[in-house]
Amino acid sequence: MNQLKNSDFFLPYNPDLTQRAREMRKNPTPAESKLWNLLKSHPPFGRSEFRVWRQRPINHFIKKNGFETPSFRRALHLDPNT
């Protein structure tokens, strides 16, 4: 496995996964598109206290959907298929 890299995120990530994560963001599933359109249009997700991401590399995995609160260092996974 590749060495993990640190960034401004609070978790390290595998830099080899960044290109794959970009490809996944460009081709979302219909459920993911619907979820993200909903999140973008409703507070508090458009505010600065939440950082919303899609297909983000964390450790040796790609976290598909979720948001984080940097001040509390918490992340929540959102599954649009359930």
Residues 6+ apart with CB under 8 A from 22: 55
Residue 2 counted as domain residue: no
pTM of the model: 0.63
pLDDT in tens, 19-68: 998 998 898 888 888 877 887 777 666 565 666 677 778 788 887 766 56
Q: Is residue 27 part of a domain?
A: yes
- The total domain count for the chain is 1
Buried b (16+ CB within 10 A) or exposed e, 43-80: eeeeeeeeebbbbbbbeeebbbbbbbeeeeeebeeeeb
Domain that holds residue 47: 15-77
